[in-house]
Amino acid sequence: MAKKENYKYEFAGLPIYDIIGKPLIAIARAQNMMSKEQLRTMLDACFKYHNGAYEPIMLKMVVTRSFLEPATKPGKGPELKMISTDFFLPMITIFPINALGIENVDIDFNVEITSQYMVDKDEIDEGGDKISAQPSSLECLGKITKGPGASGEDQEQSYENNSSFRIAVEAGTMPLTKGLLEIINIYTNAIQPIDTSQKNHQTL
Amino acid sequence: MTGEQSIQCPVCQTPILIEYKALIQGMRFTCGNCKASIGIASEAISVAKETMKKYDELKTQFRDGKKVNK
């Protein structure tokens, strides 16, 4: 029977920029996923994919108004008549589409600096000669420790066993993208009355 | 979200506030300026309802975090 060994090693820590950057990258990815999902929802509901292009689903609308027809025969007054006009609206201009996005992010953690070292940034050619000398920079490795509430002996204990990383994300509605607003604007401006006596136009 | 949108009156270009759920049910909305009333054509109501249902389903799937298969 193989002897089980308990490997216990001291975790040296991660570069500080990794500790700070990773949650921000995760949030950016989450935002990206949300945007993709919303775009797909919009395309599925309001557009038809046809011959390699998305065509908006158009909705036939009717506008009705009354008008006074002048008297045609002497002795009779003007006659109130109704007139109906058809027009088409893209479905996307009717649904209240809101862009959901991450509005506020609150990241809270304590970092214990475990080690520091200087990084030499001198560029050296193949022969070993210095090409350029640049100032060295200080790099730090750190570990996330328990939250700011810990103190004294408890805190020391927490360094070994616990780490705490609190991220509060608030999502909210964002302004629609310029492209989507432009699509809606183009179709809104293209609303034109259609003569219903011409039956050759396509209707839904 | 109130579901209120506005569209331009095809007659006088005045914005007409519409409530899309009511519109899809067949309700008509009147322009405050020229009194023209607009609504979905009766033959298009079924298409609008179907799209609305699909849109709501997709929103529910998105909210619940379910994968939307295409």
Residue A157 has pLDDT above 50, yes or no: no
CA A168 vs CA A32, A105, A143, B64: distances in Å: 18, 6, 20, 19
For A61, the closest of B4, B38, B52 (CB atoms) is B38
Check residues A174 and A6 and name the one with the higher pLDDT: A174
Please answer whether residues A45 and A91 qualify as being in contact, where contact means their C-beta atoms are separated by less than 8 angstroms.
Answer: yes
Tell me how close the Cα of A109 comes to any Cα of chain B, in angstroms. 28
Side chain identity, residue A143: K
What average pLDDT score do residues A96-121 get?
A: 77
Q: Which residues in A lie closer than 8 A to residue B44 (C-beta atoms)?
A: 59-61, 203-204
pLDDT, one tens digit per residue, over A29-83 is 888 888 887 788 788 888 888 888 888 888 888 888 887 888 777 777 888 888 8
> Hey, of B29, B35, B40, which one would you mutate to test binding to chain A, going by the most A CBs within 10 A of its CB?
B40
